[in-house]
Amino acid sequence: MAVVFDASVLIDLFNKKLSGDRRSRLDHLVASLAKQRTKVLIPSPALAEFLVKAGKAKEGYLNEIRRHGSFVIEPFDQRAAIECALLLAEAWARSQKGKVTHTKFKFDWQIVAIAASRNATAIYSDDPDISRAASRVNISVHRTDDLPIPSSALQRAIPFDEPDT
């Protein structure tokens, strides 16, 4: 089984300052996927978008991705290009035309085409354009804020004694 992480998830996942529920959700997701031995595919267009925002930390992030046993960087290769062409021809001719720029449109579809050509079962993304594109090929998309919070991270209520009256 394989899933895909897009740039929006990678940016948060590697953000050392991220904390709270969002951090707990992402850490729990990565741990759960690793435990299930699920491959986490990182499409090369998503990796490029992530690295653009990484600044000087990009080499360190690349090393972390390479060392992580579950992460696999997937190229936009011939298989993905064929998938993308089929998807783009249909979608560009329809309602999507005019809603997004041609460049953004193609970039998002490359990510979805890589997911489809690798038989990914889900895409983790906070990008609504990725979600719309993935729905056309029946790949489910999960937003970070919709992921479960692990029970270990849930805030527990502090019991207070009732005042004596």
The answer to the question of residue 116 being in a domain is yes
* pLDDT at 106 (0 to 100): 77
* pLDDT at 30 (0 to 100): 96
pTM of the model: 0.84
What is the rounded distance in angstroms from the CA atom of residue 30 to the CA atom of residue 2? 13
* pLDDT at 88 (0 to 100): 76
What is the rounded distance in angstroms from the CA atom of residue 91 to the CA atom of residue 146? 27
The answer to the question of residue 158 being in a domain is no
Between CA 2 and CA 16, with CA 153 as vertex, the angle to 5 degrees is 70
Quickly tell me which residue has 């001719």 as its tokens: 93
The answer to the question of residue 130 being in a domain is yes
The answer to the question of residue 160 being in a domain is no
Cβ partners under 8 Å of residue 2, min gap 6: 38, 39, 40, 41, 72, 118, 119, 120, 121
The answer to the question of residue 154 being in a domain is no
Q: Where are the alpha helices (DSSP H) in 41-127?
A: 44-52, 58-67, 78-93, 102-117
pLDDT in tens, 107-137: 899 999 999 999 999 999 999 999 999 998 9
The answer to the question of residue 67 being in a domain is yes
Provide the CATH number for the domain around residue 104. Answer: 3.40.50.1010
The answer to the question of residue 156 being in a domain is no
Mean pLDDT per 10-residue run, the chain (165 residues)?
Answer: 96 94 96 96 95 91 94 93 82 60 75 96 96 93 95 64 62
The answer to the question of residue 50 being in a domain is yes
Number of domains in the chain: 1
- What is the extent of the structural domain holding 13? 2-149
* pLDDT at 83 (0 to 100): 86
How is residue 159 written in tokens?
Answer: 């019991």
Q: Are strands 2-5 and 39-43 parallel, antiparallel or unpaired?
A: parallel
